[in-house]
Chains A and B, each alone.
Chain A
Amino acid sequence: MAHLHTTFIALAYGFAGFVLCVMLAWIALDSRAQRNKLADLEARRAKK
């Protein structure tokens, strides 16, 4: 019974951790992509 409980608890924590890690990675990657785009556009404007 205790073993079964551990499985359910691990599943719940694992799922919560997975969703939060995916969200963090998605926000961080999106942030880096937008910053790169912005830096590129500003550099092109400065050249003109």
Chain B
Amino acid sequence: MPRTPRMKVSDLANPNRFLRLSRWMIPLFAVAALALLAYGFYLGFQAPPERDQGYMFRIMFVHVPSAWLALGVYTMMACAALGTLVWRHPLSDVAQKAAAPLGAAFALICLVTGSIWGYPTWGTFWEWDGRLTSMLVLFLIYLGIIALWRAFDEPLQAAKAVAILTLVGFINIPIVKFSVDWWSGLHQKASVFRLDGPTMHPVYLHPLLICALGFSFLFGAMLMLAMRTEIARRRVRTLTLFAAREAS
């Protein structure tokens, strides 16, 4: 009896298989993102006003998931950078290039919504405290990575340079995470990811986690679409070079 070939996890990283899988995963992720965000915002807006901040806590449902994603996307890019440098995986640098503008967008949303939240809460839009400054540095690193991609004509050369910069920049991720513990400033300390468990009341925590999951699915859908575009761009480049070689 013929045996069905078993699929390995590494097979998913095959570019052609990725193109086939992502075709149906993108709409699935997009629908999941919309449903989770709608439910998360609904629950969040039903929650009672917070003791100190009144209704200003509602900004948390966009600010905090954006901050988590800005850090998470960079961590994913650092793993992809290892994939590029160590295993020379064909999809690693595609994923890195596609993820950088998305990470920058989430870092920007985090910075701006944090400023908007900070003004009525702290009395200022900006303060050079550890968390705010390290998040700004993360946003600038994202911009540096995007600029470096554009500085090279050859994608493989760019991938190596970007991978090195990404790994060097990874030093900033624990600084962002632990800045509120290392330095005192205006930003509050961690209230969700703590060794002794979350200190946030479930009435705010549950919608926050649902929104974070929704934003993650949205990121997943956008990343897969951007990766498909990058694969198409590289095929266009290869075919253009072939055409130019044939013509000469």
Q: Number of A residues whose C-beta is below 8 Å from B? A: 29
B89-111 Cβ-contact flags toward A at 8 Å (1 or 0) = 00000000000011001001100
- Are the C-beta atoms of A41 and B120 separated by less than 8 Å? no
**Nearest CB in chain A: distance from B211 CB, A:** 11
Which residues does chain A contribute within 8 Å of B232, judged by CB atoms? 31, 34-35, 37-38
**Nearest CB in chain A: distance from B59 CB, A:** 4
Which residues does chain A contribute within 8 Å of B62, judged by CB atoms? 12-13, 16
Q: B10-18, B150-158, B182-190, B235-243: which lies at the A interface? A: B235-243
A1-24 Cβ-contact flags toward B at 8 Å (1 or 0) = 110111011011101100110011
Which residues does chain B contribute within 8 Å of A24, judged by CB atoms? 222
Which residues does chain B contribute within 8 Å of A1, judged by CB atoms? 54
- Are the C-beta atoms of B226 and A27 separated by less than 8 Å? yes
- Are the C-beta atoms of A34 and B59 separated by less than 8 Å? no
Q: Please tell me which one of the listed residues B56, B63, B102, B113 contacts residue A23 in the complex, with CB atoms under 8 A apart.
A: B102
**Nearest CB in chain B: distance from A31 CB, A:** 4
- Are the C-beta atoms of B222 and A15 separated by less than 8 Å? no
- Take A27-B226, A38-B235 as given contacts and tell me if A5 and B120 are in contact as well, using a CB distance cutoff of 8 Å: yes
- Are the C-beta atoms of A11 and B218 separated by less than 8 Å? no
- Are the C-beta atoms of B120 and A8 separated by less than 8 Å? yes
Chain A residue, CB-CB nearest to B235: A38
Which residues does chain B contribute within 8 Å of A35, judged by CB atoms? 232
- Take A1-B54, A5-B55 as given contacts and tell me if A19 and B239 are in contact as well, using a CB distance cutoff of 8 Å: no
B66 interfacial by beta-carbon distance below 8 Å: yes
Chain A residue, CB-CB nearest to B246: A48
- Are the C-beta atoms of B239 and A11 separated by less than 8 Å? no
Chain B residue, CB-CB nearest to A22: B105
**Nearest CB in chain B: distance from A35 CB, A:** 6
**Nearest CB in chain B: distance from A11 CB, A:** 5
- Are the C-beta atoms of B105 and A23 separated by less than 8 Å? yes
Q: Please tell me which one of the listed residues B56, B228, B243 contacts residue A5 in the complex, with CB atoms under 8 A apart.
A: B56
Cα A6 to Cα B55 with chains together (Å): 8
Which residues does chain B contribute within 8 Å of A19, judged by CB atoms? 105, 108-109
Which residues does chain A contribute within 8 Å of B108, judged by CB atoms? 19
- Take A15-B113, A38-B239, A41-B236 as given contacts and tell me if A9 and B225 are in contact as well, using a CB distance cutoff of 8 Å: no
Interface residues of B (CB under 8 A from A): 54-56, 58-59, 62-63, 66, 101-102, 105, 108-109, 112-113, 116-117, 119-120, 218, 222, 225-226, 228-229, 232-233, 235-236, 239-240, 242-243
